[in-house]
């Protein structure tokens, strides 16, 4: 397969493999100097094997962890930027500019493949089952990012089909002596501005942590011609209508305005987590794949509140939680250009639309962990969830006369099922069995029943084996299901999308193996192998807009990951991933990069000054079977940053340049929509000031 690669792909892979080899050899020469520290660490194996934040290598998952303070040094600005560093993770987008992290090429054009948690609270919205509105979370608000790849990632009894992202804020330190009070200011390209703060208050048994930020920009990016150019809205019945000459190639409005206030309160065993996020962005590439106006917008606010009780009594750990989450899809735009024609009307002043749907999620969960049995830790739990549309309206220009003035079609021609609702019951049981000091098995199952689909039974088993102080092996089998998103089930009266209430969950059987070579307590090399048997994947195209469970696909690949240093004054991180597969029609894996290589390097010139660089290579991507366009080209980007910290006045300043060489980065568009795909940012600049108290 290597023989078919481009010269750039070959060079990128060879360079990274050489670096892996050189670094491994270099650190092997220093192993004897660090054996003592590793041995001391291994003695704590029984205590830390369940504490991800202390040592991820013993976890029964394939996991990568990124520290917020290190990402700040690198000039990483947002959660979205941080996730582009994850092995095997790529990014996709859609006509709404919903940014979607894609793990291991798993159904790239679908929603809900992964889950995002903020301090343990699931924040995926209901409309798309995505979390694009949270990807602009500033990195200065984040203490740590834990990314689990693969369907074995269950957090708080919420299924994560392809992976999960757990964002831990500085609320984790609210009861410690760690000082995390600070103010943040940023400015950058596209007239970007940001300001925010974090603050902790403690008194006796009461503690409060809060964070706040506001940010905005005026981003607009070239789109090429929109979907009208592809004849998507040219009608042949009852008479021929050709709207292709109306196609526009103006810039797509991708500007951003959002702010968020998060709070965590703790009093003895009780805690409350709450966040309000008001997110507003440009209308992207149009609800109907036709370019909107500059000031048209999509609002997707998200608000949640969770009350929990945690108590440890002897060998029992008890957790009880209940919460509510509200999220909204509010789209207001010119959805078709002047003189747009349909079989029933001519819209001489264009077609306008307002689409509004508000959803509510209520949940209650409880878990009990018992560690009183010798060599066993047993956990059981359940989660009850009620999801419901609580408000919906739809207004559109007059479909009969073509008059641009809005007409309320909420009752006669709704865009969304106003009665959409779903109840879900989940039960889990798991046993962590320490066969010996060096071998731990984790096994159990997840049972889920919804009011719309049949029940699912998902088993999982893993083994973590510590061969010696330097070598760790993992083997994992898991089965998991992804319930259809609400966009796949409840959007109606849409020419480009046809939903299906009778969709079944997607299924995946995953087989994973990992080898970890520890060179020291903070340097390691990890190699992962995976095979994913996906069935009943939900799929549609613009030519066949009906969502159906029609695709089975087998995906396999490998991931290499190194973290450590070359000298005593630097930090080095490298990863390489390969993914391939075929579907039930024997068609090669589409809309996924077969090769990706990423890494960063930080050199500390002094203890308060550092320079760094981030390098990313994303390989070419094949099109879907009936998409006749050339495959999407590969690309590479290079970022650079200068970090300075004034220790006397306790402030830091970061100057960063993204995509130094101004490379063209594109995410794939659906066939017959935007022929030139979705162009992303090219070279940009950022200045960040952080003052700590």
Q: What per-residue confidence (pLDDT) applies to 42? A: 40
Overall number of domains in the chain? 1
Q: What per-residue confidence (pLDDT) applies to 542? A: 64
We report the CATH number of the domain holding residue 328 as: 2.40.170.20
Q: Coil, strand, or helix at residue 265?
A: strand
* Domain membership of residue 239 as a residue range: 2-692
Q: What is the DSSP letter of 81?
A: H
Average pLDDT score, the chain? 89
Mean pLDDT confidence for 243-261: 95
The Cα 420–Cα 436 span in angstroms is 50
Q: What per-residue confidence (pLDDT) applies to 34? A: 43
The Cα 609–Cα 483 span in angstroms is 48
How far CA 622 is from CA of 18, 373, 592, in Å, comes to 28, 52, 7
Give percent above pLDDT 70 in the chain: 90
DSSP H or E run through 159: strand 158-159
Give percent above pLDDT 90 in the chain: 73
**How many other β-carbons are positioned within 10 Å of the β-carbon of residue 189?**
15
Q: Are 215 and 194 in contact (CB under 8 A)?
A: yes
Residue listed under structure tokens 């080898």:
515
In tens, the pLDDT along 429-460 reads 999 999 999 999 999 999 999 998 778 899 99
The Cα angle at residue 26 between residues 145 and 577, in degrees rounded to 5: 45
Extract the tokens encoding 228: 């009208």
How buried is 436 (Cβ within 10 angstroms: 0-12 exposed, 13-18 middle, 19+ buried)?
Answer: exposed
Q: Coil, strand, or helix at residue 184?
A: strand
Instruction: Tell me which of 373-382, 480-489, 676-685 is least confident.
Output: 480-489
With a cut of 70, say whether residue 11 has pLDDT above it.
no
DSSP bridge pairs for 311: 318
Position with higher pLDDT, 9 vs 482: 482
The Cα 40–Cα 37 span in angstroms is 5
Strand 251-253 vs strand 220-222: parallel, antiparallel, or unpaired? Answer: antiparallel
With a cut of 50, say whether residue 23 has pLDDT above it.
no
Helix, strand, coil percentages for the chain (3-state, nearest 5): 10, 55, 35
Among 597, 587, 577, 668, residue whose Cα is nearest residue 630? 668
In sign, the C-alpha dihedral spanning 579, 584, 588, 593 is negative
In tens, the pLDDT along 548-578 reads 888 899 999 999 999 999 999 999 999 999 9
Position with higher pLDDT, 408 vs 31: 408
In tens, the pLDDT along 121-150 reads 999 999 999 999 999 999 999 999 999 998
pTM comes to: 0.91
In tens, the pLDDT along 592-646 reads 999 999 999 999 999 999 999 999 999 999 998 888 999 999 999 999 999 999 9
Extract the tokens encoding 470: 């330097």
In tens, the pLDDT along 147-184 reads 999 876 555 567 788 889 999 999 999 988 888 899 99
């Amino acid at each position: 397969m290597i023989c078919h690669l481009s010269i750039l792909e070959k060079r990128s892979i060879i360079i990274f493999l050489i670096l892996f080899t050189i670094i491994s050899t270099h650190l092997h020469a220093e192993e004897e100097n660090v054996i003592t520290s590793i041995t001391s660490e291994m003695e704590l194996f029984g205590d830390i094997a369940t504490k991800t934040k202390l040592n991820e290598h013993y976890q029964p998952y394939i996991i990568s962890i990124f520290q917020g303070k290190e990402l700040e040094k690198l000039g990483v600005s947002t959660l979205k930027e941080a996730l582009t560093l994850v092995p095997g993770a790529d990014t996709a987008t859609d006509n709404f500019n919903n940014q979607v992290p894609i793990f291991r090429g798993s159904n790239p054009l679908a929603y809900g493949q992964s889950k995002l948690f903020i301090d343990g609270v699931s924040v995926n919205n209901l409309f798309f089952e995505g979390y694009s509105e949270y990807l602009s979370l500033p990195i200065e608000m984040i203490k740590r990012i834990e990314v689990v790849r693969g369907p074995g990632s269950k957090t708080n009894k919420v299924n994560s089909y392809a992976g999960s992202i757990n964002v831990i804020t500085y609320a984790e330190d609210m009861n410690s002596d760690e000082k995390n009070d600070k103010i943040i200011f940023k400015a950058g390209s596209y007239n970007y501005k940001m300001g925010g703060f974090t603050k902790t208050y403690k008194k006796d048994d009461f503690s409060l942590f809060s964070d706040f930020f506001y940010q905005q920009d005026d981003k607009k990016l070239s789109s090429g011609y929109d979907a009208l150019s592809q004849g998507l809205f040219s009608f042949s019945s009852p008479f021929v209508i050709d709207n292709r000459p109306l196609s526009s190639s103006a810039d797509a409005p991708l500007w951003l305005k959002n702010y968020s206030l998060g709070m965590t309160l703790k009093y003895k065993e009780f805690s409350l987590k709450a966040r309000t996020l008001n997110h507003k962005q440009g209308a992207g590439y149009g609800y109907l794949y036709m370019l909107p106006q500059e000031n048209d917008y999509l609002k997707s606010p998200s608000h949640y509140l969770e009350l929990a009780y945690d108590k440890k009594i002897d060998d029992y750990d008890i957790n009880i939680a209940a919460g509510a989450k509200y999220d909204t899809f509010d789209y207001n735009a010119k959805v078709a250009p002047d003189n747009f024609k349909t079989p029933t009307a001519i819209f001489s002043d264009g077609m306008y639309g307002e689409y509004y749907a508000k959803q509510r999620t209520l949940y209650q969960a409880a878990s009990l962990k018992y560690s009183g049995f010798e060599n066993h830790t047993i956990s059981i739990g359940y989660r009850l969830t009620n999801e419901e549309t609580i408000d919906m309206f739809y207004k559109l220009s007059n479909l009969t006369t073509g008059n641009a003035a809005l007409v309320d079609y909420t009752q006669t021609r709704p865009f969304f099922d106003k009665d959409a609702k779903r109840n879900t019951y989940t039960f889990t049981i798991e046993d962590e069995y320490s066969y010996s000091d060096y071998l731990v098995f984790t096994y159990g199952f997840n049972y889920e029943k919804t009011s719309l689909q049949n029940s699912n039974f998902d088993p999982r088993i893993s083994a973590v084996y510590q061969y010696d102080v330097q070598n760790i092996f993992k083997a994992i089998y898991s089965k998991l299901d992804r319930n259809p998103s609400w966009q796949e089930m409840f959007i109606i009266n849409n020419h480009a999308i046809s939903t299906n209430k009778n969709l079944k969950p997607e299924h995946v059987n995953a087989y994973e193996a990992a080898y970890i070579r520890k060179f020291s307590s903070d340097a390691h090399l990890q190699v992962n192998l995976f095979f994913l048997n996906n069935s009943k994947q939900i799929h549609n195209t613009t030519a066949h807009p009906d969502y159906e469970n029609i695709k089975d696909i087998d995906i396999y690949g490998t991931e290499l990951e190194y973290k450590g240093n070359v000298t005593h004054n630097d930090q080095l991180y490298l990863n390489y991933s390969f993914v391939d597969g075929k579907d039930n029609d024997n068609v090669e894996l589409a809309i996924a990069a077969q090769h990706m290589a990423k890494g960063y390097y930080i050199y500390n010139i002094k203890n308060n000054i550092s320079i760094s660089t981030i390098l990313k290579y994303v390989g070419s991507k094949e099109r879907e079977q009936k998409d006749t366009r050339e495959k999407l080209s590969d690309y590479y980007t290079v970022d650079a940053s200068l970090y300075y910290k004034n220790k006397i006045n306790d402030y830091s300043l970061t100057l960063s340049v993204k995509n130094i060489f101004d490379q063209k980065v594109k995410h794939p568009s659906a066939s017959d929509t935007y022929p030139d795909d979705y162009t992303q940012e090219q070279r940009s600049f950022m200045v960040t000031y952080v003052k700590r108290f």
